[in-house]
Amino acid sequence: MVIIKELLELPPFSMPSAKKSQLFRNELQKLTLHHYQHCPEYRRILDALNVNPFVPREPAEFPFLPVGLFKIFHLSSVKKSEVTSTLKSSGTSGQQVSQITLDKVTSIYQKKVLAKITTDFIGSTRLPMLVLDSSSVLEDRAMFSARGAGILGFGNFGTGTTYAFDEKMEVNFELIEAFLHKHTGQKILLFGFTFMVWQHFVLALKKRGSRLALENGVLIHGGGWKKLQDQAVDTHTFQQAIQEVSGITQIHNYYGMAEQTGSIFMECQMGHYHCSIFSEVFIRRNDFSICALGEKGLIQVVSLLPYSYPGHVLLTEDRGTLMGEDDCPCGRLGRYFVVHGRIEQAELRGCSDTYQG
């Protein structure tokens, strides 16, 4: 994974699509061959599809796995002795969850890439951090959930981390007030999963009839839109409510999943999710052909990070639209897209879609 080390020296949205396409041709073939040679299940899948991993192909032509496959099989491309942890996607009782095998190298690069992408949006200075969740989610570090991994990952951008909710997921207003008093006048980082931010923070403040002084705050959130859409809460409603109860105006949503931790897609001020130099996205029709620009279809995500498991090319259960490449008004290069939500009948999945609040 030498290329990741080299890419970490570059700004994360600095590579035009034509140059990036050549990079992904080479690196995806290396990854595909690695997984073919070291993951028996992946090898059988490619053989069944008559895919020759030695044949050069365009980035959009590499075989993809349905993301739900990780709920059925525990796929690994490294020796058991090299496994350092297993990441689980969050799920309700009785629901199958993905299990993602991580080795030391993959885990380290996930953290570094997450930092590279996130700091492009919020800056590199570590900020006093308020996590809109309970610390109880971090109990098992050896086999932790995507929810816990998200907290730990984004926790690297904060200092003096304080958890806003108790073990019953109730807001500890006294603790928050003490935190805000301690950091009066300072920029503050808040992180949480979308549905929980709405259910346990926004609605709790509304019910209490109080407002927190967080005008200097920056909120990063992701996941859980399916439940909010069911409640007729869209992005505008969510952001407006956040501003009303806290004064926060700098709000960044992100699109990501346990199966490709680290290489998240952050939303810019124009409302577009951006592919970094570590990731790519394609939109496919129901027959799996590539959609035209502006056409709605299934989201396929690509990442250069998965080395310990064959999760580098995945077809998600979400619908989206590719809006353009290299020309977003925000100035970031690469492909950018919007997400419309889960496909019908898809099992609820993600960090907070499956949380029963």
* 337-to-201, 241, 255, 342 alpha-carbon distances in Å: 28, 25, 10, 15
Between CA 137 and CA 168 the distance in angstroms is: 11
Between CA 255 and CA 245 the distance in angstroms is: 24
146 pLDDT exceeds 80? no
Pairing of strands 127-131, 188-193: parallel
| pLDDT score of 151 | 87
Between CA 35 and CA 38 the distance in angstroms is: 5
Average pLDDT over residues 315-341: 96
CA dihedral (63, 37, 257, 156) in degrees, to 10, reads -140
| Sheet arrangement for strand 158-163 | 158-163, 127-131, 188-193, 217-222, 250-255, 265-266
CA dihedral (241, 254, 269, 232) in degrees, to 10, reads -40
Of 91-100, 143-152, 315-324, 332-341, the range with the lowest mean pLDDT is 91-100
CA 6 to chain centre: 22
How many C-beta atoms surround the C-beta of residue 80 within 10 A?
A: 7
| pLDDT score of 184 | 92
Between CA 191 and CA 197 the distance in angstroms is: 9
Question: Token match 């496959």: residue?
Answer: 69
| pLDDT score of 153 | 85
Range(s) of the chain covered by CATH 3.40.50: 111-254
| pLDDT score of 224 | 67
* 317-to-69, 257, 286, 337, 350 alpha-carbon distances in Å: 11, 11, 12, 16, 11
| pLDDT score of 341 | 83
Q: What is the pLDDT of residues 45-61, one digit of tens each?
A: 999 999 999 999 999 99
**Residue spans of alpha helices (H) in 123-190:** 146-155, 173-182
Closest CA to 87 of 224, 258, 255: 258
Question: Coil, strand, or helix at residue 292?
Answer: coil
Q: What is the pLDDT of residues 210-259, one digit of tens each?
A: 899 999 999 999 876 666 766 767 888 889 999 999 999 999 999 998 89
Q: Looking at the domain 2-69+270-342, which fold is it?
A: Luciferase; domain 3 (2.30.38)
| pLDDT score of 90 | 63
Range(s) of the chain covered by CATH 2.30.38.10: 2-69+270-342
Q: Residue 144: pLDDT band by 50, 70, 90 thresholds?
A: low
The listed CATH number (3.40.50, 1.10.20, 3.30.2320, 2.40.50) that belongs to domain 111-254: 3.40.50
68 pLDDT exceeds 60? yes
Q: Residue 308: pLDDT band by 50, 70, 90 thresholds?
A: very high
355 pLDDT exceeds 60? no
Letter string b/e over residues 242-271, b meaning 16 or more CB atoms within 10 A of that residue's CB: beebbebebbbbbbbbbbbbbbbbbbbeee
- Identity of residue 220: I
User: Residue 246: CB partners within 8 Å, gap ≥ 6?
Assistant: 205, 211, 212, 214, 217
* Predicted model pTM: 0.89
Please state, rounded to an integer, the average pLDDT across all residues of the chain.
90
